[in-house]
Structure 1
Amino acid sequence: MKLLPPKPFYYEGGERAVLLLHSFTSNPNDMKKLGSYLQQNQYSCYAPTLSGHGLPAEDLLTYGPADWWQDALNGYQLLKGKGFEHIAVAGLSLGGVLSLKMGQELKVNGVVTLSVPMYKEAAVLKERIIYYAKRYKQLEGKDGKQIESEIAKLDHLPFDSLTDFEQLINQTRDQLSRITSPVHVLYGELDDPSYKTSAEKIFESVASDQKTIKGFANSKHLMTLGKDMNTVNQDILAFLNELNW
């Protein structure tokens, strides 16, 4: 069975725009509930598909942080092209790393990060890719023997993009003090403890006058689709509403 890659989405909602960036090995569906909620509250939202995402792992590995950063820039420019003068950015995991980088390098109204890693080794990212590959192949309807064979081949492919991803995280962490836009940092208390540590690092390091940090008791990594989803959405909206538009 051939799987169709998820498409980007644009929800027209009002004169305030939010760029939504999804997580590693996932797709814009991560952000659809949040985007729809923000649209209902007079925000326009765009969520790009980061290059290679929604494709087989073998294809995803041919892309890396330079491509994903360009995708984020293209999303920002798309919103600019639609006439939005003020743009906030909200990102989950990898999307949150890119959001912080945007806060360092572009004029953004505010930055929201969810489940963002500030400490992640390429070897751990490789485990994530292997897991993603197995799930994808199962959805394609492949049997266990074929999946095992293909995973063995995958293991011998170059994983340079993951080393580059680790470097992106490190570089972004080292330049957090460049961020002066308002920042709202969210993490799930049921997620790996490293994400709480990362959230605290972001909160402590950004130079923003307006910054907040919040943990959600019932949330794992995918905060935008978890048990706290509605509370998370309301929390993000409250932060956005306080920004100077």
Structure 2
Amino acid sequence: MKVKQPEPFMFEAGDRAVLLLHGFTGHSADVRMLGRFLHSKGYTCYAPIYRGHGKSPEELIDVTAEEWWEDVVEAYQTLKDKGYTKIAVAGLSLGGVLGLRLACNQPLQGVITMCSPMYFDNEEQLTIGFRQFAKEYKQLERKNEEIIKQEVDQLLEASKGLFQQIAASIERVKENVDMLYTPTFVIQATNDQMINPDSANYIYENVESEKKKIKFYDNGTHAITFSNAKDEMHEDIYTFLESLEW
């Protein structure tokens, strides 16, 4: 069975644009509801899909973490080429890490991180996420459980180098986040099962921006854009964006 491949989206509205960045193993659906909400409020929203994402787990581990960064820079340039000069970025999980890196390298109106890791203190948790993604993908292909287990085990062995790259990219951003002066909104689910929630405190305490905000959501999960916290979070993000100097 062929699995339908997701696509990037661009919802154009006013002259204020928000670049929406998905997480590791995810794709544009991670941020589609947020994009629809912000679009309804007059914001242009663009969500790219990084190389290897939205495809098979084999294709995902056949790229590098640095290529994802290149894809984010290219997405930012796409908005610039379309004439948008006022751009904010919002990213889920690894997308938030990439958003912070973008804010350190390009002029942005604001940056929003959602459940974004700063500590690579439990690689096993990311491995669990990748294992689940790979298993579900192969179930969609209607393979039997024995073959799925065998192929997932092979994938986990082959992905070790990529996880080392992810760790290095997170560490790079962590070391440089104190150079960030862009207005920042840090969002974190209290009961995040995937990353260390104290990452949020690290980002908030170390960014140098005079305008920064942090909020923990008790009814959120790591995939907070799909969680019961999403409606409250949408309103909070909109309020933050409206408070910026566009």
Asked if Structure 1 and Structure 2 have the same fold, meaning a TM-score greater than 0.5 normalized by the shorter chain, the answer is: yes
Deviation at 1:159, TM superposition (A): 2.3
TM-score (norm 1): 0.96
Partner Cα separation in structure 2 for residue 215 and residue 105 of structure 1: 27
Q: Secondary structure at the match of 1:161?
A: helix
5 Å matches for 1:131-142?
Answer: 131-142=132-143
| Aligned twin of 1:118 | 118
Q: Percent identity?
A: 38
Partner Cα separation in structure 1 for residue 67 and residue 152 of structure 2: 24
Cα-to-partner distance string for 1:122-177 (whole Å, 9 max, x where unaligned): 44433322221111101111111221221233243252121010011011001111
| Aligned twin of 2:63 | 63
Count of residue pairs brought into register by the alignment: 245
Partner Cα separation in structure 2 for residue 127 and residue 190 of structure 1: 17
| 1:3 counterpart = 2:22 | no
Partner Cα separation in structure 1 for residue 92 and residue 202 of structure 2: 16
Partner Cα separation in structure 2 for residue 29 and residue 217 of structure 1: 23
Partner Cα separation in structure 2 for residue 55 and residue 170 of structure 1: 27
Worse-matched range after superposition: 184-193 or 29-38: 184-193
Worse-matched range after superposition: 228-237 or 114-123: 114-123
CA contact (8 A) 1:17 1:43 kept: yes
Worse-matched range after superposition: 115-124 or 133-142: 115-124
Against the structure 1 CA distance between its residues 158 and 41, is the aligned structure 2 distance closer, same or farther, given a 3 Å change threshold? closer
| Aligned twin of 1:15 | 15
Unaligned runs of 5+ in 1: none
5 Å matches for 1:1-245?
Answer: 1-120=1-120, 121-192=122-193, 194-245=195-246
CA contact (8 A) 1:64 1:162 kept: no
Partner Cα separation in structure 2 for residue 190 and residue 158 of structure 1: 27
TM-score (norm 2): 0.96
CA contact (8 A) 2:115 2:195 kept: no
Structure 1 runs of 4+ aligned residues shifted over 6 Å read none
Deviation at 1:192, TM superposition (A): 3.3
Matched AA of 1:102? L
Against the structure 1 CA distance between its residues 167 and 144, is the aligned structure 2 distance closer, same or farther, given a 3 Å change threshold? same
Partner Cα separation in structure 1 for residue 73 and residue 161 of structure 2: 22
Against the structure 1 CA distance between its residues 116 and 155, is the aligned structure 2 distance closer, same or farther, given a 3 Å change threshold? closer
Unaligned runs of 5+ in 2: none
CA contact (8 A) 1:22 1:28 kept: yes
CA contact (8 A) 1:61 1:159 kept: no
